[in-house]
Structure 1
Amino acid sequence: MAHAGERWPIGDQPARGASLRSDRGQADRDDQEGRLGARRPLAGTWDRGRRRAGRSGAGSSERDEVILAAVLRVHLLYLWQHRRVLHLRRPRRFSEWVQHRKLFDRDPRLPLLTDKVAVKALVASALGDDWVIPTLWHGRVLPARPPAPLPLVIKARHGCGQIAFARTPAEWDAARAQASGWSQTRYGRWLDEWAYAGVTPGLLVERYLGDGDTLPVDYKLFVFGGRVAFVQVHLHRATAHRWIVMDRDWVRASPPTHDPDPSRPATLDRMIAGAERLARDHVFLRIDCYEVDGRPLFGEATVYPGSGLLPVVPASLDRQMGSLWRQAREELGF
C-alpha cells in the first residue's frame, strides 16, 4: 500500500481561482534565468561527469557516453514535464535536487532503503519490531495459493507503484497475472534512479491494512537533514485519491481546496520521531507511515519522490523544499 500514489505531485491541487501570483512571478523569473543560462548547467555537469569517470584506461569513452546520455535524458525529461530548464549545476528547487541526486548521489545506503524486504530489518533495529508490517512471503513468482489468509497486499520489492490487493481468490489470481512481469524487469533504469539498480527483483506479500475497499491514510514525511519539515497526507487512495501537505506543526502548506484540513494523527509525534531517527545523517529521505489501531507503522522509504518530475504545488513549496535540501547538504558537509 505504501506505493499507491507514488507518482503523484508533491502538493495538492490549488482551488479553482486561487491566486498564486507571487509564485507565478517567481516561476517566470526562474524560467527566464533558465532560458538565458540553458547551456551552462549542462556543460558544467558534463565536465564534472567526465572527471569522475576518468579520461584514461579502457572503456573511458564508453563511460563518457553513458554519463552524457544520462545527463541529456534527465534534462530533457525535466524540460518535458516541468516546461522549464533544469538548473543542475546550482539546484534551487526540490524537483531539481532530485535530478541532482539521481545523477551524482551514490550513497551506498540508498539501495538498502529502496529494498522493501531488506529495509524492514533496518527499521526494526532502529525503531522496534512493532513498527514493521511483517512480510508473509517473498520470492520471484507468486504461489498458486495465497501464502496466508486473505485479504493480502502484493508489492514489488525493487520498485514503486507496483502494488495489487487480493481480497478474494479471484483477486489473488488477477494479482498473480499482474505481478508476473514485475520481477522480470529492473526498475528505475529509464528514469536514471540509480538506487534501485542493485535491488534484487522480486515480490513480497503483506497483510492488508485496509477496511474493505477503504485504504488507510498514507502519511509521507519529508525529512531534510534529519528533521521532518512537511507531511504529505494521502486521502481516499482507492476511490478519489487526493493529497494535502501539512507542515510539522500541522499547518496547511498547500493551497486551499474543497477538502478541510485533515485531522492530526494521534501518533504524529511518534511518526516524526521515528522518521527523524531513520533519516538521521541523510540529506533527504521521505518516510511513509500509517496509523493503524492507534499505533504508527512504517510503510516505505523513498529517495526519489515522483522522480522529481511531477509538479510541486504551489511553486513556492518547491523552492522552500529546495532550500531545505541545500541547507541539509551544507550542515552535513557536502
Structure 2
Amino acid sequence: MKYLDRALLAAVTLWCWIRYLPITLRTLRRTHRLPCAGLPVTGNDKFFWRKIFDHDPRFTIVSDKLACKEWVAARVPGLSIASVLWKGADPRGIPDTLLRRNAVFKANHGCGTNHLIHQGHCDRGYIEQLGFQWMSQTHGRRHHEWGYFGIPRQLFLEEMIAPNTGGPDELKIYTFGSRVVRLIHISGRFRDMRANVWNFDPSGEPIRSVERAAVAPPSPTQPLPPSIDDALTIARKLGQEFDHVRVDLLWDSERLWFGELTLYNQAGHFPGRLGTHKDSPLTQHWTVLDSSFFQRELSGWRHWYRHALQRQHT
C-alpha cells in the first residue's frame, strides 16, 4: 500500500505543477523550490495545497471584509467592530457629508484596498476613480487565492479607529486551530512605524524575538498592549475553526477592535525559513488534516488521494 500511496502522491504533485503552472512558477521564483503539492511539508507547501484543494465555503465569508464583520460578531459579541457608514457598487453614491469626516474607503473583495480620509481632506474625483478601479479588479487570481473568487464585490466607507493618535496598534496573530504560535505587534503605522515579533513558548506565554518583521524595524522597549491576554483569547476563539488563519486585531489604547482574518498570508507565503523549513514552528503546528478537505464528501481520485494523505500523517 505504501508504494501505491507514494505513486499517487507523486502523480498528484505532478498534476498540480502542470494544471496550476502559473502559480507553480511564481512559487518557484519566490521560494527557489517547487512546492511539494501532493504531500505538503513546509508552510509554503501548505499554502499552495490550500489554494488547490481546501475550498472551504467559509473562506469566502471570512475573506469578504463586510460579511466577515457579521461572522466575527456572532462568535465574539463583545468585540468592537468598525461601523459601516456606506456601502454600494457605485462610488458616485457616497454622500458628500460622509467624505467630510474621518473615514476609511475600502473594497470588500481585495487586499490593499484601503484609502484613509482625514477630516474630509480628499478629492472626490480621485475617490470615485479609485472605487471604479477596485470594482474592476478580481483579487486573488494572480496567486490563486480561492477564498476571494466568489465574493460579491462592494465598496464601503468605514469609521476610522483612533484617527488622532497615529493609528491604532495592530496585532497580527497566527493561529493554528486554537493554538497561537506567532504575533506581530505594529505601532505608529501613520507616524514612526515599528514592528516587534513575538513567539510563544509551550505554555502559551509570548517571548520577544530578535527577528525583524518584514514591515518595519523593531522597537526593543515597546511592550505588548495591556489587553494582550484578551486579544489572545479572541484569536484562539476565532482560529479554532480553521487549520490556520491569521487574526488581525487593533488596539486604540482603550479597547480592542476587530481588523480582519487572513487566510493567505502575503498571498500564501511565510517569509524566509518560516515558510521553507520543516522545523519552522509555523510548519510544525499546521496540519492539513484539520482542514475542511478531510471533512467533506469527495469522489473520484480525490477520495483516494485523501486516504493516501491521511495514511502518510499517521
Letter in 2 for 1:307: A
Letter in 1 for 2:56: D
C-alpha displacement of 1:305? 0.7
C-alpha displacement of 1:81? 1.3
Matched residue, 1:45: 13
Matched residue, 2:208: 252
* Partner Cα separation in structure 1 for residue 62 and residue 45 of structure 2: 21
* Partner Cα separation in structure 1 for residue 256 and residue 196 of structure 2: 19
Matched residue, 1:301: 261
Letter in 2 for 1:159: G
Matched residue, 2:117: 166
Matched residue, 2:182: 230
C-alpha displacement of 1:75? 1.5
**Do residues 77 (structure 1) and 26 (structure 2) align?**
yes
SS class of match (2:87): strand
The within-5 A match list for 1:148-187 is 150-173=101-124, 174-187=126-139
Which of 262, 285, 289 is the matching residue for 1:324? 285
C-alpha displacement of 1:296? 1.1
* Partner Cα separation in structure 1 for residue 44 and residue 193 of structure 2: 22
SS class of match (1:265): coil
Letter in 2 for 1:209: I
Matched residue, 2:303: none
Matched residue, 1:32: none
Cα deviation 1:1-59 (Å, max 9, x = unaligned): xxxxxxxxxxxxxxxxxxxxxxxxxxxxxxxxxxxxxxx98743344x6xxxxxxxxxx
* Partner Cα separation in structure 1 for residue 68 and residue 179 of structure 2: 20
C-alpha displacement of 1:261? 5.2
* Partner Cα separation in structure 2 for residue 154 and residue 129 of structure 1: 25
C-alpha displacement of 1:220? 0.7
C-alpha displacement of 1:163? 0.6
| Count of equivalent residues | 276
Which of 171, 195, 198 is the matching residue for 1:243? 195
Verify the 8 A CA contact 2:43 2:283 in the aligned structure 1. Answer: yes
* Partner Cα separation in structure 2 for residue 242 and residue 93 of structure 1: 28
- Scaled by the length of structure 2, the TM-score of the pair is 0.77
Which of 135, 138, 157 is the matching residue for 1:205? 157
C-alpha displacement of 1:68? 4.0
- Scaled by the length of structure 1, the TM-score of the pair is 0.73
SS class of match (1:277): helix
Q: Which structure carries more relative contact order (alpha carbon 8 Å, separation 6+)? A: 1
The farther-off stretch of 314-323 and 157-166 is 314-323
Verify the 8 A CA contact 2:248 2:260 in the aligned structure 1. Answer: yes
C-alpha displacement of 1:271? 1.1
Instruction: Structure 2 unaligned segments of length 5 or more: list them.
Output: 1-7, 296-309
Instruction: Structure 1 unaligned segments of length 5 or more: list them.
Output: 1-39, 50-66
* Partner Cα separation in structure 2 for residue 328 and residue 253 of structure 1: 29
C-alpha RMSD of the superposition = 2.9
Letter in 2 for 1:224: F
